[in-house]
Structure 1
Amino acid sequence: MKINFTLLFILIFPIILFAQKQATYNQKAEEIKKNVWDKQNPMFEANTVPEKYSNESAVVLARSFDMQRTAGGKFKFMIITAASITEINKSTTWREKIKINDKAALERYSTLEYDKIIDKTTSFLLVNVKDKKEVFVGVKIIKPNGKEVIVNTSEEVILANSKNKDKSGKLAIPDLQVGDIIDYYISTVQIKQGSDDESENRYTFLLADEYPILSYSYKFQYGKKINVFNMSTNGAPEAEVSTNEANDQIFIYAGKNVPKYVNEIWSSPYRELPYFCISSYFRTKYDQMTIPGVNPLSKLDRDKKISRLNNYLEDFKASFFNRFIQKNDFIKDHTEDYFKTNKAYKNAPLDSILKVLYNNWKYSTFSYYSLTEFDINEMNYRTANSKLSTQKMCKTLCDMEIPHNILVVSSRFSNSLDDVFEENDFKTLIRVNGPKSVYLCFDRINLGLNEIPVDFQGEKAVVLSPRKRGDYNYVFTQSTSTIPVTTFNDNVLAERLKVDFSKDNMQVLTINRNVNEIGLMKLSDQLNLCYVEDIDKEITLATFNEDLKKRSTDRKYYNAVQAAFDNGRKDIKKHFISEITDQYEQEPKDLINFKVNSSGILTSKLEHESSFTMENFVKKAGGNYILEVGKLIGKVSKVEADKKIRQTNIYMPAARSLSYDIKVNVPAGYKFTGIEALNTNITNTSGSFNATAKIDGADLILNVKRIYNVAYLDKKAWPEVSDLIDAAGNFFEQKVLLEKLN
């Protein structure tokens, strides 16, 4: 066989030459260190802290982030053919200078942890497609007398990942003490060849921190051919935009004197705090011709004044013309078949048709399993693609001539709809217009018909009203609406507890617990306690569809899935133990019985029950016992003193009601005393906390109820909400005496 060595040399020589020119890791580290430490930066010269911050745990004297990015197309020879591959060169440097004022801050900054090397380079024959990121660190300590100590970063601990070429680093900061200033940087250098995704190059910075910031600067420098998009919101400064001699685009966000932000319960930082986003992408002309979905005439490229949301909505509507996004004939046909005759289908109430349709959508979406990504404990946590599911359902409803709208909405725990920056910043759902509106949401398997995720409730929505003109021709009219909000009667947790003292050891309680949950309150427990195989069977039976064996493509697939089901079933007990542990902040001594009576997957209510023993609720006091009775409602913490003043508005999960009906059986020869202190009644406009206690025969009967009236409150209502939290926290701390009779 004759080999053309000339051609082989031409292919290999550039690779060899390129490799010879590459600087070593240590050479790069030294160059970066000189660039950071030796380059004058007035922002990092100050070493004094204003008197008003002397009692803060730490103070950020200066913070900077510097990013430089270039991109271009280069040809890679793939032996048989050649392709144009985008090459991205990106470097970032994060630097902070922080005054350490107490032991809490000292502990936080006494160690730096970081990714050292992330290498996802792939090879094919003689060709490498690079994707490598290297990380470099530098640290110096400034003592109160002004002496600077450079930390030896070569003493870092390197941890290698056995599964790939990645490495992580951990660096201890020796001799760092309270009163010192730490000045450190973490710098990354990345070379990546291949497709360039805008989301990978998105930077979002909240201009808030747990420590006060005296000055900050975020600088982004992009090559002239790179498309850049940026947005400032909630009062964040706009970028100062300029160009340099090479026509690189430069964006700088700078400011001073940022007050500290105390992390608060029930908050939504992206609705309340200033932040900015900036992202970029680059595509060669070759990319525009060959990558599916790339539109070289994107409105964003033609007119950057158009809102990001409107651009994405235009793309969303245009995708209805895509022949690869078909209506879901499976769920349409199975819904019609469910009613057996055309007459029965035509006479069925709309909500009955929608229930069957939605259950068939669940079956078609969640009753199939990928063996390559099959983790039995993660199956309940799979999520549907809301936009794709909405498109398919919309086409199906149009075919069924069921009037409906598409609603576009953002989570109230992320950006607002007006501040959409990328496609993942909003979701879609469907509202069916009948005698009563019915909502179809596409998320996890446990979300029911007409159950709207609490994240969307009360939010402004863009309404797209579709009209079908042909198989792939849809037109839309656009308006706005507001997503409905549930009440505390729609989100309920109700527990019934029967508590007995152990005959063998009075300091051990046996608790029989029955829990009923609806609305928001059931969602987390459903995913944890309801077993995936049981859910699969429940949906299959409800929709008259094929069971696992019949729908399996082959015996190998069936055996693999069934084996995973059988093997995972033994972990159900662990899930019940974890639920009890979360409730009481300690594991049960023994879990005796446990079961799910009603999954709530196809109905409104989840019901589960368990029997278990618990320690640490009862203490011996001479011949008597002290029962920490408040613990029976689960852990509730009072508002800490430094959290009494609220900085931001209140975003609770939802309006909700939690009740506990408790019966504590008294052992023979004992009686309860001191129950009067258990009676509590606090009611205000934000909600209520009520607890009543009585003796029935010899037994203690407790009824405890907590209600939060609404999900969103102005921060002015925080004193009222704090009163409700503290009332529950005070009850949690309550004790009663079990007194021995003479």
Structure 2
Amino acid sequence: MKTKTLNALLLFFTFTIFSQSKEELAARDFFWGATDAYKTVTEVPEKWANESAVILYKNENYDFHKFGKNVTYTSSIRQRIKLLDKASVEEFSEFVFKKRFRSDKGRYTYLQKGNNYVGVKIVKPDGSEVEIDVEEESVEVDGETKLAISNLEIGDIIDYYFYRLEPFKTTYAFGFDPVETYLGEEYPVVDFKLFFETENDFFINFNSFNGAPQLTEIPTEKRNMRRYELIDSDIEKIQSTRWSYPLLELPSYKFQVYFARSGKFEDRAMAFLPENEEKIKTSVSKEEVLELYAKRFTPFGNLGDIERYFKNKTFKNDSEKVIEGYYFMRHYYLTRFVEAIIVKDAEILYNPFEFYGMPVFIENQKQFVRHFTAFLFEQDIKYEIIVAKKRYDGPIDDLLIEKNLNALVKVKTNPPIYADHFSVHTNINEFSPLIEDTDVYELYPTKKKNKIDVIKKGKLPVSTHLDNETKKDITFSLNDDFSGINLSAVTNYKGHSKKDEQLDRLMFMDYVTEDYAKYETQPWIELVKRKKNRERYKKELAAVVEKIKVKQKERFEKSAKAEFQVGDIEDYTFEIKDTGRYAFDSYFTFTESFEAKNSLIKKAGPNYIIEIGKLIGGQIDIEEKEHERTTNINTASARSYNYNITFNIPDGYTVAGLDKLNKSVDNETGAFISTAVLEDNRLVVNTTKQYKNNFEPKSNWSKMIAFLDEANQFTNEKILLKKK
């Protein structure tokens, strides 16, 4: 349930109010005081009588106040839930939370402590109430507070609140974290209220979507004080659905509050602020996007390093120059510092960056856009800045919160080149698949100006299932006594399919060494001037590398066992063949091999059964209850999985059962196709599984089920190894 993960919930007290602070008493009175209109509500609507639980009342609150440099942010939630079966009783029988925390907001406020105040009471069917004493009943475990609620029974009502009080200091503009959520819960909700309280210098962007009620203003007794509420009722529960984006289809709301003490800070704010504090901003126009980013995205950066790198280099065209510049920047502003980051994290040296002189880091998208466009402007290469929203957050026309925007650069070569802020493995023409095929804003300067003055609508391209590929070549044979298998595999990933695998499989030395050689830069250890220190750091860094390798091998062995669905493995080997880090369409390739006893083979009289279908890995099993679908289908990207499996047939045996390995389901949503042929003393099985699009309307769900079910069934297929 969403509220259970709300930073971990609760801290409680008994019916007797023991020593409580002023803030604790205020929190308790806010929810359970004399004005509590829901303290006697106990009945569940008849239509929900068979639910696991029903939320009788849900109340969310956000308060923003300031006094001088001090700002106080209070967020709270109350839920009154009737438990109707054993599952819900078990779910609410234990809570985990933190009592205190340090603020991460504002400036110089790390030492400022915030507090979580929580109350819980149990209302029995006869109307009696038991308020729980958290101090007495809870225990501290690894920095967390755990509370077990005993004697909870079917028919009880659990009524709890979580009240988070966070003070901090700030003298400049500050944006609070956005809130984007839908009204529904895991359980039906009878009544819901969202409440806001703000004052001068707090700016609100807020809007409701997909039929959710609008925010309304409540009159207040003070001119500088503002209150708002959103009220709804009779909210059906949310069914968890595979591959769905709830914010696109369910009643929902989004908001962000921004604090700006004066006009100059309002101008500097990285946000689309309303005209004044008294107005709620509900939308953002493309003209407002241009106005904000024309100031923030002016090209800027010291290009001396790249100019020195380009000296005496020649390029066939602008495309080649842009690509070379991008990968050099990725190294010079990121990967050459990776060793130092490892050294610092391992506590080998407090400040390992001192050996770089004045290192420059490009830490976020906006810094990257400014630096990369400065490079393009200097090279007289035309460009556009792309501003996009991720698909799960809705279309660009519904833009409300600046933090939801992604910025990248489109270089106007032929064909266009896209450059996004780099991580250690990011490639040219690679950007988040979640913004592919979306409508975007394109911003650019006219003529030879470097100031952005034009904005228009555009659309990003989309990668295909052929671009995003997982390819495996697997060869296996039985060991001499037929007690297990020997398996070797060459695994290739490209496109969007490879980044997570690179992050998991590549150790830092695999790629920093590659970059050092390519760009003729010195490893971190060579920058240490004093020989005595250099030898010591080198030894300590080597120990870190060895430790990582040991853990890495353990992790890879576990991964191989899970992927190939085998038991204990022996003699595991692993080797990187190509890092795939210099082109989006290049393969990241590695090999692995192992022996697995008592795996994929079963004796059947004089014959053997080989569970060959398991070698394509676990597949999605669509349960019967999932066959009815009410939401559209959104996956991260189109993609394909291609397996080539070769089984070396032992002498004196033949293979039967090939007919079950030949399958074909292919439609506009995807495909699963497999073939099996005998080639001399080898059985060769090829399979391909394709997700052809990143989006399908719900009307195509049955077509997706067709190829998903076929792939899942293949994992159960076996062959019979018959003695001649």
Smaller-chain TM-score bracket = 0.7 to 0.9
Tell whether 2:221 aligns with 1:245. Answer: yes
Within the candidate set 170, 182, 199, 2:146 is matched to 170
Q: Give the Cα separation in 1 of the matches to 2:681 and 2:270.
A: 77
Greater shift after overlay, 435-444 or 265-274?
Answer: 265-274
Q: Give the Cα separation in 2 of the matches to 1:50 and 1:299.
A: 41
Describe the shift of the 1:549–1:135 C-alpha distance in structure 2 as closer, same or farther (beyond 3 A). closer
Within the candidate set 136, 140, 146, 1:155 is matched to 136
Name the counterpart of 2:356: none
Tell whether 2:555 aligns with 1:580. Answer: no
Q: Give the Cα separation in 2 of the matches to 1:662 and 1:192.
A: 60
1:330-479 alignment to 2 at 5 Å?
Answer: 330-337=305-312, 339=313, 344-345=314-315, 348-369=316-337, 371=340, 374-375=344-345, 384-467=363-446, 474-479=451-456
**Amino acid in structure 1 at the alignment position of 2:380:** E
Q: Give the Cα separation in 2 of the matches to 1:295 and 1:706.
A: 44
Tell whether 2:211 aligns with 1:235. Answer: yes
Greater shift after overlay, 303-312 or 638-647?
Answer: 303-312
Name the counterpart of 2:590: 608
Describe the shift of the 1:429–1:94 C-alpha distance in structure 2 as closer, same or farther (beyond 3 A). same
Within the candidate set 24, 31, 35, 1:36 is matched to 31
In the TM superposition, residue 219 of structure 1 has moved relative to its aligned partner by: 0.7
Name the counterpart of 1:59: 54
Describe the shift of the 1:87–1:158 C-alpha distance in structure 2 as closer, same or farther (beyond 3 A). farther
In the TM superposition, residue 490 of structure 1 has moved relative to its aligned partner by: 1.1
Deviations 1:701-729 (Å, cap 9, x if unpaired)? 22111111111111111111122211111
Q: Give the Cα separation in 2 of the matches to 1:376 and 1:623.
A: 57
Q: Give the Cα separation in 2 of the matches to 1:413 and 1:399.
A: 37
Within the candidate set 189, 192, 214, 1:213 is matched to 189
Greater shift after overlay, 255-264 or 620-629?
Answer: 620-629
In the TM superposition, residue 46 of structure 1 has moved relative to its aligned partner by: 3.3
In the TM superposition, residue 402 of structure 1 has moved relative to its aligned partner by: 1.0
In the TM superposition, residue 545 of structure 1 has moved relative to its aligned partner by: 4.2
Describe the shift of the 1:618–1:292 C-alpha distance in structure 2 as closer, same or farther (beyond 3 A). farther
The answer to whether the Cα contact below 8 Å between 2:286 and 2:441 also exists between their aligned partners in 1 is no
Name the counterpart of 2:620: 637
The answer to whether the Cα contact below 8 Å between 1:431 and 1:440 also exists between their aligned partners in 2 is yes
Q: Secondary structure in 1 aligned to 2:553?
A: helix
Describe the shift of the 1:574–1:57 C-alpha distance in structure 2 as closer, same or farther (beyond 3 A). same
The answer to whether the Cα contact below 8 Å between 1:409 and 1:417 also exists between their aligned partners in 2 is yes
User: What is the total number of aligned residue pairs between the two structures?
Assistant: 681
In the TM superposition, residue 607 of structure 1 has moved relative to its aligned partner by: 1.0
Q: Secondary structure in 1 aligned to 2:392?
A: coil
Deviations 1:195-243 (Å, cap 9, x if unpaired)? 5764435433322222222221111112345333322233332101123
Describe the shift of the 1:394–1:131 C-alpha distance in structure 2 as closer, same or farther (beyond 3 A). same
Deviations 1:257-286 (Å, cap 9, x if unpaired)? 22222222222233333322233344445x
The answer to whether the Cα contact below 8 Å between 2:192 and 2:231 also exists between their aligned partners in 1 is yes
Q: Give the Cα separation in 2 of the matches to 1:554 and 1:276.
A: 59
Q: Secondary structure in 2 aligned to 1:359?
A: helix
Describe the shift of the 1:355–1:225 C-alpha distance in structure 2 as closer, same or farther (beyond 3 A). closer
Deviations 1:403-450 (Å, cap 9, x if unpaired)? 221111122233433333433211211112223111112232222122
Within the candidate set 140, 149, 158, 1:182 is matched to 158
In the TM superposition, residue 110 of structure 1 has moved relative to its aligned partner by: 1.2
In the TM superposition, residue 93 of structure 1 has moved relative to its aligned partner by: 2.7
Q: Give the Cα separation in 2 of the matches to 1:623 and 1:679.
A: 26
Tell whether 2:575 aligns with 1:598. Answer: no
Tell whether 2:686 aligns with 1:703. Answer: yes
Q: Give the Cα separation in 2 of the matches to 1:317 and 1:121.
A: 30
Name the counterpart of 2:676: 693
In the TM superposition, residue 64 of structure 1 has moved relative to its aligned partner by: 0.9
Name the counterpart of 1:50: 45
Q: Give the Cα separation in 2 of the matches to 1:372 and 1:522.
A: 23
In the TM superposition, residue 531 of structure 1 has moved relative to its aligned partner by: 2.3
The answer to whether the Cα contact below 8 Å between 1:199 and 1:422 also exists between their aligned partners in 2 is no
Name the counterpart of 2:87: 104
Name the counterpart of 1:651: 634
1:541-580 alignment to 2 at 5 Å?
Answer: 541-548=517-524, 560=537, 563-564=540-541, 567-569=544-546, 570=549, 571-577=551-557, 579-580=559-560
Tell whether 2:292 aligns with 1:315. Answer: yes
Tell whether 2:457 aligns with 1:480. Answer: yes
The answer to whether the Cα contact below 8 Å between 2:565 and 2:614 also exists between their aligned partners in 1 is no
In the TM superposition, residue 389 of structure 1 has moved relative to its aligned partner by: 0.7
Report the TM-score when normalising by structure 1: 0.83
Q: Give the Cα separation in 1 of the matches to 2:311 and 2:184.
A: 55
Deviations 1:612-631 (Å, cap 9, x if unpaired)? 23455334455554333221
Name the counterpart of 1:736: 719
**Amino acid in structure 2 at the alignment position of 1:256:** S
> 5+ unaligned residues in a row in structure 2: which ranges?
1-17, 348-360
Q: Secondary structure in 2 aligned to 1:390?
A: helix
In the TM superposition, residue 662 of structure 1 has moved relative to its aligned partner by: 0.8
The answer to whether the Cα contact below 8 Å between 1:232 and 1:275 also exists between their aligned partners in 2 is yes
The answer to whether the Cα contact below 8 Å between 2:173 and 2:266 also exists between their aligned partners in 1 is no
Greater shift after overlay, 147-156 or 133-142?
Answer: 147-156
Report the TM-score when normalising by structure 2: 0.85
Describe the shift of the 1:263–1:295 C-alpha distance in structure 2 as closer, same or farther (beyond 3 A). closer
Q: Give the Cα separation in 2 of the matches to 1:236 and 1:504.
A: 67
Deviations 1:145-171 (Å, cap 9, x if unpaired)? 44433333333434377xxxxx53221
1:184-199 alignment to 2 at 5 Å?
Answer: 184-195=160-171, 198-199=174-175
Q: Secondary structure in 1 aligned to 2:433?
A: coil
Name the counterpart of 1:329: 304
Q: Give the Cα separation in 2 of the matches to 1:109 and 1:63.
A: 16
Identity of aligned pairs, percent?
23
Q: Give the Cα separation in 2 of the matches to 1:262 and 1:491.
A: 30
